[in-house]
Amino acid sequence: MELTGADIVVRCLRDEGIQYIFGYPGGAALHIYDSLYKQDDVKHILVRHEQGAAHAADGYARATGKPGVVLVTSGPGITNAVTGIATAYMDSTPMVVLSAQVPTHLIGDDAFQEVDAVGITRPCVKHNFLVKDVNDLVPTLKKAFYIACSGRPGPVLVDIPKDVTAEKTEYIYPSSITMRSYAPVAKGHPKQIKRAVNLLLNAKRPIIYTGGGVVLADAADSLIKLVRQLGYPCTNTLMGLGSYPAEDPLFLGMLGMHGTYEANMAMHDCDVMLAIGARFDDRITGDLAKFAPHARIIHIDIDPSSIGKNVKVEIPIVGDAKLVVDDLNAELNKRDAVPDPEALKRWWKQIDEWRSINCLSYDRNSDLIKPQFVIEQLYEASGGNALVTSDVGQHQMWAAQFYGFNKTRRWINSGGLGTMGFGLPAAMGVQLAHPDELVTCVTGEASITMCIQELSTCKQYDLPIKIVNLNNRYMGMVRQWQEFFYDRRYSNSYMDALPDFVLLAESFGHVGMRIEKPGDVRDALNEALSVKDRLVFMDFVTDQTENVYPMIAAGKGHNEMHLSPGNGDTPQKRELA
């Protein structure tokens, strides 16, 4: 049967099993919107700004592992979505972005709402396409989903001119597609697996450091098996939280700039490091010259270009994290050898000493609401079972430090790009994917304001998200850096003229709450969480001066952490000394 290009787009989405798409209509996209109107298989979620569409699709994808789909119009439609696409690219989210384009005969004419979508998005997509012929539409969409979801996942953009959506052709959707130029490796090299096991078994001071790749590959169960079998300490990156259960004693917490003292010191002093699905980002390594000076490194990653990019690796293994870790487990099971028990005992004794510093301590007797306390209470009130999205800044770090994630795909934040405004729209995608679960968005007053318009979308689709706004009237992380490194010159980091968030939430049809005393925190959370069918915006008025500790300042090594003032240390002191 012959279908129009617009109908083909929608049929392809249906045949890919796509349940939700996130978008916003406009002139060039109208044929596709008309096709959406005529069916019920694919549900369209109307956002209030295209950035929100991309973040919502991103949140949906991260919570489910399925591709997120975005539909935007030409010109400003796609440019508005670019921040969301770049966010997904940096965190390797599988995503397909459909952007409408002006008709082919107008391309290059500076037509109304024309922009070079393929050119603008090229540096922040895994791949992109411009479809100039309706006969290319089906194979291109099939390729788009294949590329987005395989190998190291990422966003793929398909730019579709309006006339292509009007033309007709036969519709047959292929079940699979092969490309001569694209064939990601999944299995690790057996020889490298053997070498890795040899090195692991000979370690005296080992550490297993894992990132978002373990989440993307759904390799958490395999990782847990590996860590427990070896009895080695494990640390997760910001993107990898949940891969190893936070409550397990072998877990050292998050590492990196605001990671725990024990995780960073263990990274610094280790003799063997097993990195899985992590990319040695600058927020993880600190100063590369001082990074893990004694470590022999095994690095597992599906993206060969991540290996050896920042640090020298002794045993590179290219492959899917789950398949490779399963192979490591199988190889370990074949061996009689066990790790040196005496060395391991000494190593754990050292780690326990570092742990005893209790680097995440904060003032629990304050009259002001401490943001860390809110996150701890949120953890308890939700039984540790919430899906948590966050924006970017101090609240993000506190959520990462204080909400102990025991499972993957429950901590959803913009790690790579650090996009303020991500949290609320991402929570919409997460809530749609898990309608019966508790979805919370931990945010700050600066971040939430960046995509606040999506409160309207939440109302339209009855998304009962629980927003935890840690309101310190500052861009907290900016203020923290200005306090430490700019002699307290708080240049443009104060949030003056903030709205009344309670009234704001209510004006959108939601429930608003303001909490000003530490003693009211838990009751407020309990009350908010008991509201099952409505969005609740909790505006916590928190201590303005609180900082995120511990901290590795820029240019410092893992063994040069600043601890909280309670631990008798301040960055200023170190800077002056």
Partner 1 sequence: MRHIISILLENEAGALSRVSGLFSARGYNIESLTVAPTNDPTLSRMTIVTHGSDQIIEQIVKQLNKLVDVVKLQDLTEGAHIERELMLVKVRAVDTAREEVKRLVDIFRGRIIDVTNATYTLELTGTVEKLDAFVKALELTEIIEVARSGVTGIARDDRALNV
Let me know: does 394 contact 548? Beta carbons within 8 Å: yes
Residues 307-366 that bind partner 1 (CB under 8 A): 308-309
Cβ nearer to partner 1, comparing 159 with 539:
159
Cβ nearer to partner 1, comparing 189 with 459:
189
- Give the whole-angstrom CA distance, residue 513 versus residue 506: 9
Q: Tell how far CA 350 is from the center of its chain.
A: 32
- Give the whole-angstrom CA distance, residue 52 versus residue 485: 33
Catalytic residue among 16, 50, 454, 546: 50
* 112 flagged as catalytic: yes
Let me know: does 314 contact 339? Beta carbons within 8 Å: no
State yes or no: residue 178 binds partner 1 (CB under 8 A): no
As measured in angstroms, the least distance from the Cβ of 127 to partner 1 is 4
Catalytic residue among 112, 187, 460, 573: 112
Among 271, 303, 516, 527, binds partner 1 (CB under 8 A): 303
- Give the whole-angstrom CA distance, residue 414 versus residue 54: 12
- Give the whole-angstrom CA distance, residue 88 versus residue 417: 8
As measured in angstroms, the least distance from the Cβ of 568 to partner 1 is 41
Among 8, 10, 42, 147, binds partner 1 (CB under 8 A): 147
Cβ nearer to partner 1, comparing 122 with 335:
122
Catalytic residue among 257, 450, 477, 561: 477
- Give the whole-angstrom CA distance, residue 105 versus residue 108: 8
- Give the whole-angstrom CA distance, residue 138 versus residue 142: 6
State yes or no: residue 139 binds partner 1 (CB under 8 A): no
Let me know: does 445 contact 472? Beta carbons within 8 Å: yes
Sign for the CA dihedral angle at 101, 106, 110, 111 comes to: negative
State yes or no: residue 114 binds partner 1 (CB under 8 A): no
- Give the whole-angstrom CA distance, residue 77 versus residue 100: 9
Cβ nearer to partner 1, comparing 152 with 558:
152
* 532 flagged as catalytic: no
* Contact range with partner 1 by CB under 8 A, out of 125-133, 245-253, 328-336, 407-415: 125-133
As measured in angstroms, the least distance from the Cβ of 143 to partner 1 is 9
State yes or no: residue 404 binds partner 1 (CB under 8 A): no
Which residues are CB-contacts of 64 (< 8 A; sequence separation ≥ 6)?
409, 433
As measured in angstroms, the least distance from the Cβ of 305 to partner 1 is 4
Q: Which amino acid is at 375?
A: I
Cβ nearer to partner 1, comparing 318 with 513:
318
The length of the chain is 577
As measured in angstroms, the least distance from the Cβ of 136 to partner 1 is 11
Cβ nearer to partner 1, comparing 187 with 517:
187
* Contact range with partner 1 by CB under 8 A, out of 123-131, 202-210, 268-276, 544-552: 123-131
Among 122, 187, 364, 573, binds partner 1 (CB under 8 A): 122
Among 182, 354, 461, 485, binds partner 1 (CB under 8 A): 182
Sheet (strand 155-161) strand order: 43-46, 20-24, 68-72, 95-101, 155-161, 127-130
State yes or no: residue 201 binds partner 1 (CB under 8 A): no
* Contact range with partner 1 by CB under 8 A, out of 304-312, 340-348, 486-494, 531-539: 304-312
As measured in angstroms, the least distance from the Cβ of 117 to partner 1 is 11
Cβ nearer to partner 1, comparing 182 with 481:
182
3-state secondary structure of 271: coil
* 51 flagged as catalytic: no
Cβ nearer to partner 1, comparing 318 with 563:
318
Cβ nearer to partner 1, comparing 108 with 190:
108
State yes or no: residue 181 binds partner 1 (CB under 8 A): yes
Cβ nearer to partner 1, comparing 43 with 309:
309
Among 108, 119, 435, 566, binds partner 1 (CB under 8 A): 119
DSSP conformational letter for 566: G
Q: How many CB atoms lie within 10 A of CB 61?
A: 30
Size of the site for partner 1 (CB under 8 A): 18
* 309 flagged as catalytic: no
Among 1, 172, 180, 334, binds partner 1 (CB under 8 A): 180
State yes or no: residue 118 binds partner 1 (CB under 8 A): yes
Q: How many CB atoms lie within 10 A of CB 249?
A: 10
* Contact range with partner 1 by CB under 8 A, out of 43-51, 88-96, 177-185, 361-369: 177-185
* H, E, C per residue of 469-515: EEECCECHHHHHHHHHHCCCCCCCCECCCCCCHHHHHHHCCCEEEEE
Among 39, 305, 361, 507, binds partner 1 (CB under 8 A): 305
* Contact range with partner 1 by CB under 8 A, out of 164-172, 178-186, 415-423, 568-576: 178-186
As measured in angstroms, the least distance from the Cβ of 123 to partner 1 is 5
- Give the whole-angstrom CA distance, residue 92 versus residue 87: 9
Cα 545 to Cα 52, 60, 259, 330, 542: the distances in Å are: 31, 34, 20, 51, 9
DSSP conformational letter for 122: G
State yes or no: residue 105 binds partner 1 (CB under 8 A): no
State yes or no: residue 130 binds partner 1 (CB under 8 A): yes
Which residues are CB-contacts of 310 (< 8 A; sequence separation ≥ 6)?
279, 280, 281, 282, 285, 288
* 113 flagged as catalytic: yes
As measured in angstroms, the least distance from the Cβ of 129 to partner 1 is 9
β-pairing verdict for 127-130 and 95-101: unpaired
Cβ nearer to partner 1, comparing 115 with 478:
115
Which residues are CB-contacts of 59 (< 8 A; sequence separation ≥ 6)?
68, 389, 412, 425, 426, 427, 428, 429, 430, 433
Q: How many CB atoms lie within 10 A of CB 194?
A: 16
As measured in angstroms, the least distance from the Cβ of 121 to partner 1 is 11
Residues that bind partner 1 (CB under 8 A): 118-119, 122-123, 126-128, 130, 147, 179-182, 303-305, 308-309
Residues with active-site annotation: 50, 112-113, 162, 477
